Amino acid sequence: MAFQDPPRGLIVDLVTPTETGDTVDIPGLERLLEKVSQHAHGILISSPWAGEGRKLGLKVKKELFERTMALLPEGLPLLVWISGKDEAETRRNLVALQKVTESTLHDRPIYWVDTPLLYHSNRGLPTLYEELFRLAERPFVVVNDPASVSQVRSSIKRKNIRTSILKEMAEMDFILALIFLGTLDRAYNYQKAVRRHASFRIYDGDEARFLEYPSLSGVVSAGANLVPDKWRAITESSLHLTEEEGDYPDSLKQLWEIGQFLHKLRDIYFPNPPAIIKSALADMGIFGGIPGLEDDDQDILEAKTDILRLVCE
Amino acid sequence: MVIEQAKQVLKIEAHGILGLVDKIGPEFKKAVEIILKAKGRVILTGMGKSGLVARKITATLNSTGTPSLFLHPAEAIHGDLGMVTKDDIVLAISNSGRTPEINTILPILKNMGARIISFTGAPDSPMAMASDVVIDVGVEREACPLGLAPTASTTAALAMGDALAVVLINKRRFGKEDFRKFHPGGTLGERLALKVKEIMLTGDNVPVVKLGTKVGDAIAVINNKGIGATLVADGNNRLQGIVTDGDLRRALLKSKEIHDLLVDGIMSPSPKTIDENQSAAEALGIMELYGITHLVVVDREKHIKGIAHLHDLLGREEFRINGISRSAPRTDC
């Protein structure tokens, strides 16, 4: 079965607008998608990073998925994080989300995103994906995120996908990309492992890494919720998606300044991306409010103020 | 930090090139065949950094036997397209494959009948679509932030250009002599910096006869040693004169029977000499000044140390250098 190649470029790691924790703030979602979608090459929802995927219940995930599909411009690829706390929950998530796609008329490329080592060992991963694919016949993007795996399963020995396993998975025609976090040396090994598959993407899951040594597949960016135009400009420049020479004499200076700006912005929201970004978006009028955020949550409030000051400068 | 960052850049670029290994396939072979069969030249084109890469590949192809030209895409639409003929092959370089200046000229070049090969990191780009052969030079990661300057991608394109040039060298059976033919400047410069003793002929390679030798025997020596002359020495190997082809012609004009004459009667008694520690450039200057092709290398007492020939100064395959004697007698004097 042939699937459309995953997008190259900017994948916006969408924050999840919730009203009470178990309901999606639909107007907020609409405003956010309106803000980011014109600059994105793809949208990732329910991610374990900005999307708070591990905290979201299946009801919210389904609603978010359904609403996002309805609101996104036609043809814009949508990536959905499906991982549960164990294999059974991952299967349940997948089946439920697949049902959502079957009940809608929206036709767009959809990719299931999974961090397998959060609930499974390296051994038997290819078999697992054959089974998951049979449940919901859409392509997969796998995630290598050793830091998150360490937090959830500190006792397991291997916190990275083994290179040989990735090589085996890349042979499957429905596993099309990897979101990568980890050391550059591991990135080189992974690149080597998947080289036979020219269209296999390895996205940078670490924005700071992308700003220094950009992967030419693209980046998964939480900061793009705040300044999608700037992230788009840097992504296009880094991936040579447009012509090689700028139209104006100070184009390089401008790119440099945008890069420095994005570094600074990331440093501010990095301690807690979902809370800080959502808080800033609320003040920018995108969301109605942020449930669960206490007035005395001083760190978040200070970070939000810094972000607003930086963005408004 | 500085060291680590520099190492990282080199690693990224190295992995970029290694990534090309798996991309060499039928398309590369097709590009080689097209270039080998072409009656015209290879016209390289590219903008910005890709343009600089194109210029370097042009130089490499030219110096290895594939006639090439660089065509600036912006100048092309202002008249330089006139340098391209239907027999030429165009090699366009653009990582994005979306460089407007290139995509403007490719259809025109194609209409002229030129075949297009492209080096690009985007095999689905407009430039790739307009090409007869697409060679993927895409890399997985750039070493420079923010797209400020292409790094691994231009290194990869450059390396692919080298791969193409080297394969063409072998296909064309381009040899050392051909390389020397295309590099007279560099070789000459290096050789003229040498000392006379590093390029002169010595030992048995020096044609020498004794005073009192018959001209017929001297002719045999001249013929055997192959530099168009023989030195004449006394019993202590001190220089007494030189017999050149010119001396023989002049003797023949006086008498048809010269074989039994003695060299003493026809030789030039004061040949130009040089010290072995003088430079090859000085030797060349003396030869130019007097319109001669040999200089005898002697010490203060006029003992013969060797002979320097114009061809050895300019570089010839079978010259003597640092004690290595030439391999065969020469016949080109």
* 3-state class (DSSP) for residue A197: coil
Looking at CATH, the fold of the domain delimited by A9-240 is given as: TIM Barrel (3.20.20)
Residue B97 token pair: 């494959």
What is residue A162's DSSP assignment?
-
Q: Do B195 and B176 fall into the same domain? A: no
Encoded amino acid at B40, one letter: G
Q: Provide the pLDDT for residue B116.
A: 96
Q: Is A209 helix (H, G, I), strand (E, B) or coil?
A: helix
Please indicate whether, in this complex, the C-beta atoms of B145 and A236 are within 8 angstroms of each other: no
ipTM above 0.90, yes or no: no
* The pLDDT of residue B333: 29
B321 located within any domain: no
Assess whether pLDDT exceeds 50 at residue B321. Answer: no
pLDDT of residue B184: 55
What is d(CA A120, CA A105) in angstroms, rounded to the nearest whole number?
A: 34
Residues of B in contact with A211 (CB under 8 A): 145-146
B176 lies in the same domain as B197 = no
Helix (H, G, I), strand (E, B) or coil at A176: strand
B330: in domain:
no
Whether the Cβ atoms of residue B229 and residue B330 lie closer than 8 Å to each other: no
Residue ranges with strand state E in chain A:
9-13, 42-45, 78-81, 110-114, 140-144, 175-180, 201-204, 218-221
| CA of residue A224 relative to chain centroid, distance | 10
- Where are the alpha helices (H) located in chain B, listed in sequence order? 2-21, 26-37, 48-63, 73-76, 100-112, 126-129, 152-171, 176-182, 184-192, 196-199, 215-225, 245-254, 263-266, 280-290, 310-314
CATH code: domain of residue B218: 3.10.580.10
Q: Are B145 and A211 within 8 A, CB to CB? A: yes
The position carrying tokens 């042979």 is A171
Rounded mean pLDDT, B83-97: 93
Search chain B and give the residue with CA nearest A215.
Answer: B141
Angle, to 10 degrees, between the axis of helix A298-312 and the axis of helix A273-283? 60
Q: Does B197 share its domain with B172?
A: no
Q: What is the mean pLDDT of residues B135-155?
A: 89
Residue B325 banded pLDDT, cuts 50, 70, 90: very low
Residue B323 pLDDT more than 50?
no
The nearest CA of chain A is from the CA of B119 a distance in Å of 14
- Give me the DSSP letters along B52-106: HHHHHHHHHHHHTT--EEE--HHHHTTTGGGG--TT-EEEEE-SSS--HHHHHHH
Quote the minimal CA–CA distance from B60 to chain A in Å. Answer: 24
State whether B163 and B16 are in the same domain.
yes
User: A188: distance to nearest CA of chain B, Å?
Assistant: 7
A192: which chain B residues are within 8 Å (Cβ-Cβ)? 15, 18-19
Q: Which of A147, A18, A136 is nearest to A80 (CA)?
A: A136
Whether residues B51 and B85 fall in one domain: yes
Domain count, chain B: 2
Per-residue pLDDT of chain A (313 residues; tens, 9 = 90+): 678 999 999 999 999 998 776 789 999 999 999 999 999 999 999 999 999 999 999 999 999 999 999 999 989 999 999 999 999 999 999 999 999 998 877 778 999 999 999 999 999 999 999 999 999 989 999 999 999 999 988 888 889 999 999 999 999 999 999 999 999 999 999 999 998 888 899 999 999 999 999 999 999 999 999 999 999 999 998 988 776 555 566 777 888 899 999 999 999 999 999 999 999 999 999 987 666 555 558 888 899 999 999 988 7
Name the residue in chain B with its Cα closest to that of A240: B96
Nearest to A244 among B18, B47, B143 (CB): B47
Out of A184, A185, A255, the one facing B147 most closely (by C-beta) is A255
Burial of B98-137, coded b for 16+ CB within 10 Å and e otherwise, reads bbbbbbebbeebeeeebbbbbbbbbbebbbbebbbbbbbb
Both B266 and B153 in a single domain? no
**CATH number of the domain within which B125 lies:** 3.40.50.10490
Taking the Cβ of residue A305 and every Cβ of chain B, the question of whether any pair is shorter than 8 Å is answered with no
B16 falls within a domain: yes
Containing structural domain, residue B67:
2-182
Is A213–B142 a contact, with Cβ atoms under 8 angstroms apart?
yes
B26 pLDDT exceeds 60?
yes
Radius of gyration of chain A (CA): 19
Q: Assess whether B68 and B209 both reside in one domain.
A: no
Tell me whether residues B15 and A191 touch, CB distance under 8 A.
yes
- Same-domain pairing of B45 and B114: yes
Same domain, B296 and B278: yes
Place B332 in a pLDDT band, splitting at 50, 70 and 90. Answer: very low
Report which of A181, A260, A36, A204 is spatially closest to residue B148, judged by C-alpha positions: A260
Instruction: Identify whether residues B47 and B171 lie together within a single domain.
Output: yes
CA distance B51 to A91: 52
State pLDDT tens for residues B171-192: 877 665 666 566 555 556 666 6
Structure confidence at residue B32 as a pLDDT band (50, 70, 90): very high
Q: What type of residue is B80?
A: D
Q: Which residues of A touch B150 (CB under 8 A)?
A: 240, 244
Over range B309-325, report the average pLDDT.
Answer: 54
Q: Where are the domains of chain A?
A: 9-240
Say which residue, B83 or B119, is predicted with more confidence.
B119
Instruction: Provide the pLDDT for residue B257.
Output: 87
Same-domain check for residues B7 and B142: yes
DSSP state of B148: S
What does each C-alpha distance from B311 to B199, B226, B305, B318 come to in angstroms? 10, 12, 18, 10
Give the residue-averaged pLDDT of B93-101.
91
State whether B150 and B255 are in the same domain.
Answer: no
Rounded Cα distance between A208 and A68, Å, is: 27
Does A246 reach chain B within 8 Å, measured CB to CB? no
Average pLDDT estimate for B188-202: 77
Tell me which residue in B12, B138, B146 faces A234 most closely, judged by beta carbons. Answer: B146
Using one digit for the tens of pLDDT, what is the confidence trace for B217-265?
999 999 988 888 999 999 999 999 999 988 999 999 988 888 999 999 9
The reply to whether B105 falls in a domain is yes
Q: Which helix (H) or strand (E) holds B305?
A: strand B304-309
At A190 the pLDDT is: 95
Residues B96-123, mean pLDDT to the nearest whole number: 92
